[in-house]
Chain A
Amino acid sequence: DTGVSQDPRHKITKRGQNVTFRCDPISEHNRLYWYRQTLGQGPEFLTYFQNEAQLEKSRLLSDRFSAERPKGSFSTLEIQRTEQGDSAMYLCASSPRRTAPSEETQYFGPGTRLLVL
């Protein structure tokens, strides 16, 4: 039983470059989430997919950020024109569907650490 995987695990880029991260959820999970975590803080929600549909985006997700889940399986998160403030850990999580959304346990991947120089 494989867990959530993310690639790459680490990324160093220069300000202004574009970066793309990939997340592969647990295979039977139809819900996928992206979070951002800065040093000393808990994760903050970015966006949510149910199958291939992006159902919610946080105000943290500026126009430079875009996420896709084209076939309802893996997802990508792209950051265009990176800024130093984008430096953070980007976490992906997936969950199976439950009758009550509040019961859904989210299982996280190892994260991608982004450093923008």
Chain B
Amino acid sequence: AQKITQTQPGMFVQEKEAVTLDCTYDTSDQSYGLFWYKQPSSGEMIFLIYQGSYDEQNATEGRYSLNFQKARKSANLVISASQLGDSAMYFCAMREWKNNDMRFGAGTRLTVKP
């Protein structure tokens, strides 16, 4: 069963504006981690931000923040002040305590327009 859902295949944002990429997940575990990765056209997966299921504060890393709503099982990525270099695929992923693997969503392609 699909555990990570990214409903936006593609998103456009104007340079310097903020954008939110949606992610919902499904788990019965109480302990899990949520991750966002960026994949440029070169192919490398670049780690952006992590949120633990027990973290009460939303994670932030520079221009990236994670809007974590545990009851709704959502972990949306917010990118502030978009830059042209932010154009890429973005993947949401989850790792449950009991599993060794990380489950990824299908990704959202973000295009930043000048």
Using a CB–CB cutoff of 8 Å, the interface residues on chain A facing chain B are 33, 40-45, 48, 55-56, 58, 89, 91, 93, 100-111, 113
Is B101 among interface residues, defined by CB-CB distance under 8 A? yes
User: Residue of B at shortest CB range from A10?
Assistant: B43
Q: A55–B101 Cα gap in the complex (Å)?
A: 11
Chain B residues positioned under 8 Å from A107 (CB to CB): 47
Q: A35–B107 Cα gap in the complex (Å)?
A: 15
Query: How far apart are A3's CB and chain B's nearest CB, in angstroms?
Result: 9
Interface 9-residue window, one of B13-21, B31-39, B69-77, B79-87: B31-39
User: Residue of A at shortest CB range from B55?
Assistant: A103
With contacts A102-B31, A106-B47 taken as known, whether A42 is within 8 angstroms of B100 at the C-beta atoms is: no
- The answer on a CB contact under 8 Å between A91 and B45 is yes
Chain A residues positioned under 8 Å from B100 (CB to CB): 33, 45, 48, 55-56, 101
- The answer on a CB contact under 8 Å between A41 and B43 is no
Is B104 among interface residues, defined by CB-CB distance under 8 A? yes
Q: Which of B31, B43, B106 contacts A40 (CB 8 A)?
A: B106
Chain A residues positioned under 8 Å from B103 (CB to CB): 45
- The answer on a CB contact under 8 Å between A101 and B97 is yes
- The answer on a CB contact under 8 Å between A102 and B43 is no
Instruction: Choose among B4, B104, B105 the residue with the greatest number of A CB atoms under 10 Å from its CB.
Output: B104
Q: Which 6 A-B pairs have the closest CB atoms?
A: A42-B104, A45-B101, A108-B45, A102-B33, A48-B100, A110-B44
